[in-house]
Amino acid sequence: MRISELSRRSGVPTSTIKFYIREGLIPAGACSQRNQARYDETHLQRLDLIRALREVAGQPLEVVRAVIEQLGKPWGEGDPVGAAIEAIHRVPERDRSGAEQAEYDALRAQVAELVNGLPWHVPDEADRAHALELDRITDAVLQLRRYIDPDFDIAVLRDFAAGAWRISEAAIERNEDRVPMPGDDLIDPTRTAILGMLLLEPLVMTFVRSALTMRSIRISNGLPLPPS
């Protein structure tokens, strides 16, 4: 297809496509004749990925570039989804005193032991996404203890994890055919994974907020709670 058709199908202006080519975010088209180039579905998929990162995730070009660079690595060596998660869900750095840092480090070790002991955990010391998840959980527990419940027991996280696994089953069973296999192109699976995380998270949290609100209303009004 010509660049005009690529623009029409992707919804990305021609000028922006040319900018992405200059920046190395998408490859140049194959020359078909003088001053003309042809583009294919790979270009379209990569533009869809860039749009997902830019428009849905609201990420800058630096993040897009980091994800694209991971896509360019051989199968099994790149981690485009991990790069996206690392950028989108990075835990804000906090200034901690020596005692606070020691408290954080001790709690993170406990969180890591719990999470790594879950039946569905796959050990991978180099997994950036997993390390980031441990940071976020640790930070969240610290904030819960500081502002809501000083005695919050991290053992409760096992119940949260069990609920999360059931949610993952419901989400994945509709997309089992999209799980990439060795040799597959990673552009479309990466776009699907990133969009899935970004769009599923607010959906799940809306149900969680609703459940917490309805539970409080039922308890305060003496209404029976539904079975778990």
**Residue 30 resides in a domain:** no
**Residue 192 has what pLDDT?**
74
Residues 6+ away with beta carbon under 8 Å from 63: 53, 57, 83, 84, 87, 88
**Cβ distance 12 to 19 under 8 Å?**
no
Q: Which domain holds residue 200?
A: 40-220
**Residue 107 has what pLDDT?**
95
**Residue 161 resides in a domain:** yes
**Residue 175 has what pLDDT?**
58
**Residue 210 has what pLDDT?**
93
**Residue 162 has what pLDDT?**
92
**Residue 159 has what pLDDT?**
93
> What b/e sequence results for 52-81 when a residue is b if at least 16 CB atoms lie within 10 Å of its CB, and e otherwise?
bbbeebebeeebbbbbbebbeeeeeebbbb
**Residue 155 has what pLDDT?**
94
**Residue 211 resides in a domain:** yes
**Residue 66 has what pLDDT?**
82
**Residue 10 resides in a domain:** no
Residues of the chain under the 50 pLDDT cut: none
**Residue 7 resides in a domain:** no
**Residue 59 has what pLDDT?**
81
**Residue 117 has what pLDDT?**
92
**Residue 140 resides in a domain:** yes
Residue with the two structure tokens 């390390």: 131
Count of the separate structural domains present in the chain? 1
**Residue 23 resides in a domain:** no
